[in-house]
């Protein structure tokens, strides 16, 4: 897509690319104030926040099913309890699955 030096690419969008070559290169390389890096960083933060919200919703549904929603009132303070509770219940669930014929 960014083959700027090819002589046979002097039509359509490639002509625009050739006219705006420096701006495009600066955008991609991060040398411009409106470069690609902040856009990517912002997008990745949005994805991370979305994943965090999805994981929290999943954890909330899991704890609600087990009547343990109180642990989510202070997740950081209850981290060890949550970890222990989830691991214990996961082990029990695994044993139940393995014991079924």
Residue 38: what pLDDT? 79
18-72 confidence digits (pLDDT tens): 777 777 777 777 666 666 777 788 888 988 888 888 888 888 888 888 787 888 8
CA 64/CA 80 separation, integer angstroms: 18
Question: In the structure encoding, which two tokens stand for residue 29, read together?
Answer: 């390389």
CA distance 19 to 12: 11
Please check the confidence at residue 101 and state whether its pLDDT lies above 70: no
Whether residue 8 is predicted with pLDDT greater than 70 in this model: the reply is: no
């Amino acid at each position: 897509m960014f083959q700027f030096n090819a002589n046979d690419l002097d039509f359509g969008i490639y002509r625009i690319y050739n006219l705006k070559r420096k701006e495009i290169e600066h955008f991609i390389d991060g040398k411009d104030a409106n470069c690609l890096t902040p856009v990517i960083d912002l997008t990745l933060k949005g994805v991370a926040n979305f994943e965090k919200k999805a994981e929290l919703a999943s954890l909330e549904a899991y704890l609600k099913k087990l009547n343990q929603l109180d642990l989510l009132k202070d997740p950081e303070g209850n981290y060890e309890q949550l970890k222990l509770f989830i691991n214990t219940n996961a082990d029990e669930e695994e044993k139940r699955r393995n014991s079924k014929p």
